[in-house]
Structure 1
């Protein structure tokens, strides 16, 4: 559509310039009777028609226009409105970046104008028309050159700004990806290694063959899951180009997560209300929040019981993990910070803290639609 508009505008310009030049010739000659006047009309029409291809061939069209100006002056022995055709051609030559050629064409046209104007000038008359024509051409060349330089400078500035924005966007995405990988590795390693540590401690401090076997089984399962998730993460990092999408854990794996985190001295109860299908990023965030909260329960709370609740609430999903631990929680670590980053990235909210009757609570509200980052609720 834009190409069609450009061709239409170009054709309209050619017609207007040709009309101005032809009408000027008719007025100047008071009609077209002599052979020289018909030849001058042909020069006007040919040079005006050549303007249609001035953008593709600016220099040849400029030469044609200059030749038409010279022929017009030689035929009618005076300069005429055909100079409009030459000005348009000269403008295009300058605008396309051929400044040296434009200067040469301008000087040649001044000579042709002066020669044509000399036929009707007395020896004592100053050639003011030639000087006026020269000044006009200088103004065209200087003006177009200045505009072109300003345009090129603006284009270069825009390109530099666009390139800077692209680099900043690439850095931002790389930073976000590093933070995401760091959160995932922290959640995976923190949860499974904490579980392994707790089970190993239980086996060492309670030399009961049955419990030792149970602890070793839990350690084997936790280490297996750790290796699987690490291989998946490292496999994505090693890939070149577009990474393969690795299925992320979600609500369907919460039961397995709770079962592996439970111990004889820690009972974990699940209260999971059926929710509609969640976006992948929300589903993963629910799993990671529960995983990190249970890791903190196992490592810090000294609890004997915990409850995990997941339920819908209008357009949100609520995630709560409460324990009955009696130990005072320490300063918030990277685990809670990682949970907060996940929640805020989805436009949700997170509250953590001790309960009035003892224990610790983690409560997250996530929009089921997966809100964009930075939208706080």
Structure 2
């Protein structure tokens, strides 16, 4: 797939070809050879230089050596993306030899410009600057000091001409540097978008993992407790065993429904959920399930209750659910107290049990996926969760969820 290629390898070249401008292992880059653009440059340089030879202005007429230098310098551009440093250096040597031999000026400057451009864009700036600067230095030496010994043996060139050449050199290098900076910016933007996509995918996987853990841990804990009750009372109290089995059926049905809803979001990630996400309005159902597992839950509410955004409502429900699940699984207490306090700009949740921890079932404060999931849910909303033993015995879970940034968190969990 094209998207799997590095960012610098997904760019169209001249005349529609695809090539890679970035360096790969060993300083090379992959992709097709730019034969179309190279052929166009070769034709331009050859035709243009022959046209200049008809009006040489005292320069040496083109001979087989001159044609060879033109042809070799142009054809070297075929490898400018795979070997940018070597190409820039070789093209510069051809241009320097052409000028030193006294051949007519012409579009041979185009080959030097393209070679330097490819090297700068690939990141080899020093090589490109040295190549262009070397050709310019050779031109200065030949035009003002070595002209006595080299053809066409005419006087020194006017310095105004050197100003034109200098301006041309600066323009070529500046354009190449701008192209390099622009390409680096595009590559950086693509890398940032890819990183953001990976981050969103990781966050979505984490969200789904939390949902599945909370749903399954709670329901399976209830099923496990009721299955133990049913087995213990199957012979002595069949009616109570029947009640336990009914609770198991109800809990498993609810778990299947919630798991199906989570899996539906995986199959159709862009669709709205078919059923509303659970919230604090379902606390009575939660306490009833906990009662079926033998845990009496006392719920108190303080402050004026306000409508919560869906993400905050879901997080609050899951935190209470996980706290009660931990009590069922890890505590010998048969009572639990849930306090919801609607403070200005925040929702505070506190879940207490009187312990003691059951043998072999203790879970250290801060350990396990359940407590980690509660902390992640609260942190995603800018809040926090504290969990640990109480000084007078038992265990306490305390959560603080801010409500000020509703606009940001209203759909964060369910988007």
For normalisation by structure 2, the TM-score amounts to 0.57
Q: Which of the residues 228, 252, 255 maps onto 1:201?
A: 228
2:316 equivalent in structure 1: 286
Secondary structure, counterpart of 2:298 in structure 1: strand
2:338 equivalent in structure 1: 308
Secondary structure, counterpart of 1:140 in structure 2: helix
Secondary structure, counterpart of 2:382 in structure 1: coil
For normalisation by structure 1, the TM-score amounts to 0.62
Q: Which of the residues 272, 278, 281 maps onto 1:244?
A: 272
CA distance in 1, matches of 2:334, 2:290: 12
Structure 2 residue 167 is matched with structure 1 residue 136: no
CA drift at 1:253: 1.1
2:261 equivalent in structure 1: 232
Matched pairs, number: 254
Q: Which of the residues 346, 350, 357 maps onto 1:327?
A: 357
Q: Unaligned 5+ residue runs, structure 1?
A: 1-99, 105-125
1:352 equivalent in structure 2: 387
2:305 equivalent in structure 1: 275
Secondary structure, counterpart of 2:292 in structure 1: coil
CA drift at 1:243: 3.5
CA drift at 1:141: 1.5
CA drift at 1:132: 3.4
Q: Whose radius of gyration is greater, 1 or 2?
A: 1
**More helix as a share of residues:** 1
Deviates more, 1:318-327 or 1:144-153: 318-327
CA drift at 1:209: 2.4
Secondary structure, counterpart of 1:347 in structure 2: coil
Q: Is the 8 A contact 2:347 2:402 kept in 1?
A: yes
Q: Which structure 2 residues correspond to residues 50-129 of structure 1 after superposition, within 5 A?
A: none
CA drift at 1:162: 1.2
CA distance in 2, matches of 1:272, 1:215: 30
CA distance in 1, matches of 2:351, 2:213: 19
Structure 1 residues 195, 149: closer, same or farther in 2, change over 3 A?
same
CA drift at 1:164: 1.4
CA distance in 2, matches of 1:336, 1:233: 20
Secondary structure, counterpart of 2:333 in structure 1: coil
CA drift at 1:347: 1.4
Q: Which structure 2 residues correspond to residues 135-214 of structure 1 after superposition, within 5 A?
A: 135-207=162-234, 208-214=237-243
Structure 2 residue 374 is matched with structure 1 residue 339: yes
Structure 1 residues 370, 228: closer, same or farther in 2, change over 3 A?
farther
CA distance in 2, matches of 1:156, 1:238: 37
Per-residue CA distance 1:146-174 (angstroms, 9 max, x = gap): 00000011111111111111111111111
Q: Unaligned 5+ residue runs, structure 2?
A: 1-105, 111-153, 410-415
Structure 1 residues 135, 361: closer, same or farther in 2, change over 3 A?
same
Structure 1 residues 256, 347: closer, same or farther in 2, change over 3 A?
same
CA distance in 2, matches of 1:204, 1:173: 46
CA drift at 1:348: 1.1
Structure 2 residue 401 is matched with structure 1 residue 366: yes
